Structure 1
Amino acid sequence: MTDSALRIKNPSVTLYAFHLCQDLSQEPGKFRQDADQLWQHCAQLSEPLAIPDLKSLPEKLQSPPSQTAIASRYIELLPDHGRLTYTAPLQIEGSALTVEVYPVKIHDTYALDLTLYYQNVTVPASQFSRLNPQGCLLASNIQPSLGQTLVLYGEPVGTPEEDRKLADACVDAFFQGTDQKPELSASGHLFGSPIFAYDNGKEKPTEQCHLLVWLNRHPETLNLVEKTSLSLFNLLCCRSKILFAYDQARWCYRQTRGLYGQLEEEVKGFKELPRDPETRLEQLKQKLTEMPLKTFDYAGYLRDMEDHKTAIATNASN
């Protein structure tokens, strides 16, 4: 079967994006200067998705209670059921595109669940391009500081033997017109249905492209997805925070190595000070002025590395 003949029923894509809104250096209740960047970029999707009302998303969000800003595990940022639903005029075979927005705060992180889907329609896999107009859902546009995961979902029409080819076709269509397409990195089954993982191998969270293609082939898959949706949301958040901490720890390590080399040279310099008392004293003063600054920086990077190690362990256990 050719790629153009591969078909999928009820296609959808969910964007899970994560952005750090607080850090430990700030007072409780205070937010980072760029905390609302995720919501601003989500609002900008109003143009490619042709949903003018989405522009006002930041104004609709509720501020988390300041007294629980750090401690609260999970806070919905919209009233009622915490979700907004829009109908976009991007139709496929008479089926309208539905867009659901679910913004929350998980600990110190703003998290976005943005789902686009078509119902009661069977289309070629190539139509997944309609779920990412102008590449609007890619990390280069959303720019979440902790990274994001995209989940392409649908019900395959062909045989199980065609699932890998169908998954590849969905990814090809989704990234049509971009140079950011990831490569297959793993495959398996989740809740009885095949799932394929794609990645671009980048370490920096803002440059990563992590994508899952989940093909519903089991009668209980959808039911289990609905029951565990919040757990999956939290799991992907922890994953992003682990990768972010790892990237930050590697940066600190590189800085530490550079400073270590400089400090070693300074120590050697003490042994090579001139014997003339006046010159010796002058050079000693200069070294004693420079070394503490480098030592403080070195100690700071070591402390940060330990903090990142703790963050990785904490999120791994979550």
Structure 2
Amino acid sequence: MNEQQIIYPTVEVFFFDLREGLGDSPEEIEVRRRNFYEKIYGENTYEQGDYPKFCDRDNPTQPVVLLEKGSESFPNGEDGQYYPVQLGDTYALVASYSGKFDAHGQPNTEPHTIQPATNHPNEIGIPFGNFQGKLQERLHQKTPTLGQTWLIYGKIPDPNADLTQVAQQCYQQMVANPNWHRDCIGEGSLQGGTLFEIWHSDSQPSQSAHILIWLFPASKDVAAMREEVPASWWDFLYLFQYRHKILWAYAQSRYLRKQLKQNFVELKQKSDRTQILPQEIDQGKIPGRELQNILTENLATMSNYTVDLNYLDDQRRNIDINIQNYRDRFFYMQQKYPNSDLQCLGKFSESEIYAKKYQRQITADYENLQPGLTVLQNLNNTISGIIHIEQTKVDRRLNNTVAIVGVGLATSSLAASVALEGQNPPDTHTDFQFLTDPAFTISLGIGVFSAVLVAVFLRFRR
């Protein structure tokens, strides 16, 4: 593959961080603000006051530019800038790098040769691999919470160049283990340039990458190119925000699905145990207190299961909403750039193997896991019923005992009163001669006999 030249090569990254999630406290939102801020200015810079503060807002209805002057330029003669914004509940950042300014402090428009990386581990491709590394250094090697998209662009001075081959050379500098035929989603056009969309997946999520390569023809004026690309930032910011929210929600749903499936396995074990509870209770293997403990554990499991299931449904709705938002923004871009071909960008929301697949999968997961909540409720109702029955048995035994003792005491007292009527009371409190009196013995026997009769009657009554 022949080496090609490129004029004003530039690498940009669209970087998205979650500002606030459902139920986040003000303290958690502040931590996220600090983390996003320090991705731009470095560790421990948030409190020092050496850099401008963000102008973010709660629940804004319009996008918010976070810096009063709009963007922050790179120092030391480097042609680059940060442009941080707030899009509702999301922090977004465009960071752009085009190398060094020329000797006059102007953008360098000299041609660069696209040089592939060697096999040496410390060698990277030039210019894009090098520029990508510079941007990562500027972002202090931090990664976003929602996701990021790389945009690389430049002007190809050779009018006869094979732009697909040039795009492959650029792409190979951006990822490890590149596979063009697997990763290239499609080709289109925008503002007179040729657009390639690549989605590189890797077993290591940190090595996955979403990349746009935008190559302008030899006839394109460099100054016009430098104006037109930043003019499209807002469209890309919105479009990529929706894309990464969909992917993030799907990743969250995979974690929730794993948690719910583990809980479902526990439910099966608890259900099997519940089937033999009555037998174990009859055999005296499970005391009432243990039943209460089992119910308490089940209630905690049901609470966790309900929360996770609701979060799963939240992610399902997030995907639905952001797919529609993506479609609306894509339609808007088609109207805004009528002479462009953006169908490669539309594949994400319309193809059966991207967003629609995530939509189907998370819906199926919710429908499959939702019956587990019913199983938990039935388990808890069953155990509550068993506890109620056992408590009723205990209460009945206690009532029967009280009745037996009460009858025995009442009849013996009555008999003793009748038998001892007219006899002298004991002389002192230490005089126990009445215990040998036949009347006392008879009254005691009557009481015992009455208690036995009541016990036999209650037993047969049951």
2:63 — aligned with what? Answer: 74
Alignment of 1:80-91 (within 5 A): 80=69, 82-89=70-77
Which of these residues, 35, 38, 45, is aligned with residue 37 of structure 1?
35
Q: Give the distance between the partners of 1:58 and 1:245, measured in 2 at CA.
A: 36
Counterpart of 1:200, as a letter, is: H
Moved more, 142-151 or 189-198: 189-198
Q: In the alignment, does 2:102 pair up with 1:121?
A: no
Give the direction of change, closer, same or farther, for the CA distance of 1:235–1:143 in structure 2 (3 Å limit). Answer: same
Q: Give the distance between the partners of 1:174 and 1:19, measured in 2 at CA.
A: 22
- Asked whether the 8 Å contact 2:6–2:156 carries over to 1, the reply is yes
- Asked whether the 8 Å contact 1:139–1:148 carries over to 2, the reply is no
1:111 — aligned with what? Answer: 92
Moved more, 26-35 or 98-107: 26-35
- Asked whether the 8 Å contact 2:15–2:144 carries over to 1, the reply is yes
Give the direction of change, closer, same or farther, for the CA distance of 1:169–1:207 in structure 2 (3 Å limit). Answer: closer
Moved more, 30-39 or 146-155: 30-39
- Asked whether the 8 Å contact 1:88–1:99 carries over to 2, the reply is no
Moved more, 273-282 or 217-226: 217-226
Shift of 1:264: 2.0
- Asked whether the 8 Å contact 1:15–1:137 carries over to 2, the reply is no
* Runs of 5+ unmatched residues, structure 1: 46-52, 90-96
1:94 — aligned with what? Answer: none
Give the direction of change, closer, same or farther, for the CA distance of 1:309–1:139 in structure 2 (3 Å limit). Answer: farther
Shift of 1:30: 6.3
Q: Secondary structure at the match of 2:29?
A: coil
Identical amino acids, percent of aligned pairs: 20
Shift of 1:98: 0.6
Shift of 1:38: 2.9
Total equivalences in the alignment:
293
What TM-score, normalized to structure 2? 0.56
Q: Secondary structure at the match of 2:249?
A: helix
Counterpart of 2:86, as a letter, is: K
1:279 — aligned with what? Answer: 285
- Asked whether the 8 Å contact 1:204–1:244 carries over to 2, the reply is no
1:311 — aligned with what? Answer: 318
Q: In the alignment, does 2:43 pair up with 1:61?
A: no
- Asked whether the 8 Å contact 1:153–1:214 carries over to 2, the reply is yes
* Higher share of residues assigned strand: 1
- Asked whether the 8 Å contact 1:147–1:240 carries over to 2, the reply is yes
Q: Secondary structure at the match of 2:196?
A: strand
Counterpart of 2:12, as a letter, is: T
Counterpart of 2:152, as a letter, is: L
* Higher share of residues assigned helix: 2
Shift of 1:100: 1.3
Q: Secondary structure at the match of 2:12?
A: strand
The one of the two structures with greater contact order (alpha-carbon pairs below 8 A, sep at least 6) is 1
* Runs of 5+ unmatched residues, structure 2: 100-106, 116-125, 326-462
CA deviation profile, 1:21-40 (whole Å, cap 9, x unmatched): 21121257961524332331
